[in-house]
Structure 1
Amino acid sequence: MLIREATAEDWPAIWPFFQTIVAAGETFTYPVDLDQDQGRDWWLPALPSRTVVAVDDSGAVLGTAKMNRNHQGNGSHVASASYMVDPAHSGRGVGRALCAYTVDWAREQGYRAMQFNAVVETNVHAVKLYESLGFEVIGTLPEGFRHPEDGYVGLHIMHLRL
């Protein structure tokens, strides 16, 4: 697997699984009805944010990560990231590779920490992955997320000191 900078040409490969994940409404706080242009604008932001893709030997996109400042101004020393793995490629270490890549990127860029603002507590695979890479749940917003099957569930704030 290779992780490389995403380009506009990658969007047609990202969009199908991006749309499926967002429309399911189970893990992201994005509007579930984002259209393709809105999704592209949200996922492929301008610098200094950065988006990467994980590709296999054939060049097929397996997953993607978006990295950005968590805050502006005097809080701009804290990074954040979001991840999407094509469900057809889940369980193959793509998410772990993308998360580790973003942590390394944040360190190289001089960020002091990474913070995820809204990790849905029922997304147990993501929570377990982040914890295995050193992130801690530092707080939970009770009933901060309306899950389509589980109702109102908490949103974790997760933090990693770099």
Structure 2
Amino acid sequence: MGILKNNLILREATEADAAVILDIQECVVAELDYLITAPEEFNKTVEEQQEWIHKVIQSERETIVAAEIDGAVVGWIAFQTSSRSRLAHTGSIGMMIKPSFRNRGIGKALIMYILDWAAENPLIEKVCLGVLSTNERAIRLYEGLGFVEEGRKVKDIKFSEDRYADDVLMYKFV
């Protein structure tokens, strides 16, 4: 399924997208402020990324969606679930957008796509996410789309000797 709006196409990602998805991850990790992963800890290969994408697209309870503008992937979102039966009705999203393409509605479009997908999937009832408390713009976006904070892991992320962030846990029932 694809959506076209202002040159934005949302489509299921494929293994052929692995290199560009990996490139976007590397850019976001290098920014230091939005992820738990430190740049020196991020060392995925294109082959590992291809395997991950393959696993996700083979699952009826998971998906990965690419955001394309003028033929180039500029962002992506993944919805992943647990293999445990008591958690099978819920899953988490992770999303990354190239820095130069932020603040254009791409993140909102990706999340809305996942929420629609989850609502149509009879196996999914709850969409979850974690976001650093320092990422106020993302928190406002999630709240605007109906996500609710369900808890915090206080000072869970340590950037430096005296700089921390909470891991804010949010959810939305679909």
Please say whether Structure 1 and Structure 2 have the same fold, judged by a TM-score greater than 0.5.
Answer: yes
Partner Cα distance (1:148, 1:45) in 2: 36
Partner Cα distance (2:93, 2:169) in 1: 13
TM-score (norm 2): 0.82
The answer (yes or no) to whether the contact 2:14–2:54 under 8 Å persists in 1 is no
User: How do residues 5-154 of structure 1 correspond to structure 2 at under 5 angstroms?
Assistant: 5-32=12-39, 33-37=41-45, 40=49, 44=53, 46=55, 47-48=58-59, 49-56=62-69, 58-70=70-82, 72-110=84-122, 111-116=124-129, 118-147=130-159, 151-154=163-166
Partner Cα distance (1:150, 1:87) in 2: 26
* Equivalent position SS for 2:96: strand
Letter in 2 for 1:80: S
- What are the superposed Cα offsets for residues 100-124 of structure 1, whole Å, 9 maximum, x if unpaired? 11111111112111111x3101111
Aligned length: 160
Taking every aligned residue pair, what percent have the same amino acid on both sides?
A: 28
The answer (yes or no) to whether the contact 2:18–2:50 under 8 Å persists in 1 is no
Q: Structure 1 residues 148 and 107 mapped into 2: Cα distance closer, same or farther (>3 Å)?
A: farther
Structure 1 or 2, whichever has the larger Rg, is: 2
Q: Runs ≥4 in structure 1, deviation > 3 angstroms?
A: 147-150
* Runs (5+) with no aligned partner, structure 1: none
TM-score (norm 1): 0.87
Q: Structure 1 residues 71 and 26 mapped into 2: Cα distance closer, same or farther (>3 Å)?
A: farther
